[in-house]
């Protein structure tokens, strides 16, 4: 969508994460001058951190299942993924010279498993297209907000003092509220609320939860993994979940992949009722009858800990968890102990703070945007990425939707600028 040459436009992209960089790519390809601003000393910091243990790009599962991961915002995310879904994302990465593969879990990774080569190739492409980067620029809102202007006057705090930059359109890709030290601090919320933008409260997503362990259990087992284990949870509204995997015991509670997968429902249950009760199956591959039969075998002169380990393989953190949660008298009853092993109740009392979460829920409501992701109250301002009101579990879903939304915002801004050239702003 190349703009007419006589009309030179500038677009400011604020936020140099995946959504912002994708918007910059689309905009630069549309013939406008793009300036990318970021508060950090270098770009893509959270993206690089996410790829530290292996960059999970997207997921290979069927699209209908993929879309189900976005919960209440499935319809809005589907509109984005219809234009740039998992397959298109993989093709885009291949065009950058990065090969990918599908892991045993169905997750998609770069062959090198790292984020650095991908980001390096991407930035090279963007700079070659004329995109300019401005780091250590913390956005502080608009200048002269009460004065009519054909351009957006944007205020930035920089090491050399406050600066004002002007742009014909703006793409905000400022992230959510998690990992403030990497730039996603949610400081943009009051700036947009002041301009009449409807924003859902930021909340932790893909987060851990507090349990309130005894000091003995916390001191001895914090940092230990529980695996294999299954978690069952039934919401007060009746929806039931069961998922097998692993998670880790923390000093205050639990966290890790299995917990993250259910974190949205667990968080909402705690908000609604004050707590979330989950049940742990410590032997997910055993039937209850098999567990009871094994525990009923005579233990002779062996200690109960040895009996538990030899008969059913329960030891270490799993044995400690039973001691933490099961009344002492139940250990002498194979039926009650077996029932506890297969469905150990664990009460979660609070999500961990948002700055510890992998991602965040809440943000700019989709209802505050038009179909091109332009803010209804701020013509020429578009939003993308995690600052929008959606959430998804880990597994490539977050990155896929961020990139797709950045692409959509970039296209929306180009359409807006074209309409401005034509003398109309009805985008």
How do residues 205-235 score in pLDDT, each as one tens digit?
A: 999 999 999 999 999 999 999 999 999 999 9
Q: Are residues 253 and 338 in the same domain?
A: yes
Q: Are residues 51 and 153 in the same domain?
A: yes
Longest dimension (CA), the chain: 92
The yes-or-no verdict on residue 5 having pLDDT over 50 is no
Q: What is the pLDDT of residue 8?
A: 78
The yes-or-no verdict on residue 304 having pLDDT over 80 is yes
Domain housing 284: 209-351
Q: Report the C-alpha gap between 412 and 382 in whole angstroms.
A: 8
Secondary structure (3-state) at 417:
helix
Q: Are residues 94 and 161 in the same domain?
A: yes
Q: Are residues 91 and 166 in the same domain?
A: yes
CA nearest to 145, candidates 386, 407, 377: 377
Find the helix packing angle between 334-342 and 316-325, rounded to 10°: 110
Which DSSP state fits 286?
A: S
| CB 171, CB 387: distance < 8 Å | no
Q: What is the pLDDT of residues 331-343, one digit of tens each?
A: 999 999 999 999 9
Q: What is the pLDDT of residues 155-176, one digit of tens each?
A: 999 999 999 999 999 999 999 9
Q: Where is average pLDDT lowest: 85-94, 266-275, 303-312?
A: 303-312
The yes-or-no verdict on residue 1 having pLDDT over 60 is no
Q: Are residues 377 and 255 in the same domain?
A: no
Q: Report the C-alpha gap between 332 and 296 in whole angstroms.
A: 10
Question: What are the beta bridge partners of residue 408?
Answer: none
**At which residue do the structure tokens 């913390």 appear?**
138
| Residue 102 dihedral angles phi and psi, to the nearest 5° | -100, 125
The yes-or-no verdict on residue 299 having pLDDT over 90 is no
**Token digits for 316?**
């270490």
Burial of 216 (0-12, 13-18, 19+ CB in 10 A): exposed
Q: What is the mean pLDDT of the chain?
A: 93
The yes-or-no verdict on residue 20 having pLDDT over 90 is yes
Q: Are residues 337 and 415 in the same domain?
A: no
**Token digits for 372?**
């091109």
Identify the CATH number of the domain in which residue 23 sits.
3.50.50.60
Cα distances from 78 to residues 151, 157, 267, 362, 403, in angstroms, run 32, 36, 24, 18, 13
The domain boundary, picked from 304, 325, 351, lies at 351
Q: What is the pLDDT of residue 343?
A: 97
Q: What is the pLDDT of residues 273-296, one digit of tens each?
A: 999 999 999 999 999 999 999 999
The domain boundary, picked from 351, 374, 407, lies at 351
- The number of distinct structural domains making up the chain is 2
């Amino acid at each position: 969508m190349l703009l007419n040459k006589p009309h030179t436009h500038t677009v400011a992209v604020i936020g140099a994460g995946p959504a912002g960089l994708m918007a910059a790519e689309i905009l630069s390809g549309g013939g406008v001058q793009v300036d990318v601003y970021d508060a950090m000393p270098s770009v893509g910091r959270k993206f690089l951190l996410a790829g530290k243990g292996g960059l999970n790009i997207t997921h290979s599962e069927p699209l209908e299942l993929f879309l189900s991961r976005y919960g209440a915002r499935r319809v809005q995310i589907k509109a984005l993924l219809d234009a740039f879904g998992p397959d298109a994302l993989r093709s885009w990465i291949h065009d950058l010279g990065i090969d990918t593969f599908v892991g045993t879990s169905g997750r998609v990774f770069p062959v090198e498993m790292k984020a650095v080569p991908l980001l390096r190739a991407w930035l090279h492409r963007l700079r070659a297209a004329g995109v300019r980067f401005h780091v250590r620029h913390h956005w502080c809102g608009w200048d002269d907000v009460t004065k009519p202007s054909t351009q957006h006057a944007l205020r930035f705090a920089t090491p050399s003092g406050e600066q004002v930059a002007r742009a014909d359109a703006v793409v905000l890709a400022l992230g959510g509220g998690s990992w403030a030290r990497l730039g996603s601090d949610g400081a943009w919320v009051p700036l947009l609320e002041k301009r009449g933008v409807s924003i859902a409260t930021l909340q932790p997503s893909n987060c851990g939860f507090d349990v309130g362990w005894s000091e003995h259990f916390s001191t001895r087992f914090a940092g230990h993994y529980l695996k294999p284990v299954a978690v069952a949870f039934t919401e007060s509204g009746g929806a039931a979940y069961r998922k097998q995997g692993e998670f880790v015991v923390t000093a205050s509670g639990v966290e890790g992949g299995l917990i993250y997968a259910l974190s949205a429902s667990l968080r909402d249950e705690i908000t609604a009722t004050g707590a979330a009760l989950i049940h742990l199956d410590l032997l997910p591959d055993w039937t209850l009858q098999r567990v009871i039969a094994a525990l009923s075998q005579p233990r002779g002169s062996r200690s109960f800990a040895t009996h538990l380990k030899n008969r059913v393989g329960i030891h270490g953190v799993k044995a400690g968890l039973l001691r933490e949660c099961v009344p002492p008298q139940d250990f002498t009853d194979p039926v009650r102990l077996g029932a506890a092993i297969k469905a150990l109740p664990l009460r979660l009392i609070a999500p961990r703070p948002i700055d510890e979460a992998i991602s965040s829920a809440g943000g700019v409501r989709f209802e505050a945007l038009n179909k091109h992701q332009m803010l209804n109250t701020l013509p020429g301002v578009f939003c993308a990425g995690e600052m929008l009101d959606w959430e998804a579990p880990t597994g490539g879903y977050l990155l896929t939707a961020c990139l797709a939304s950045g692409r959509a915002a970039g296209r929306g801004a180009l359409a807006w600028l074209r309409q401005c050239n034509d003398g109309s702003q009805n985008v």
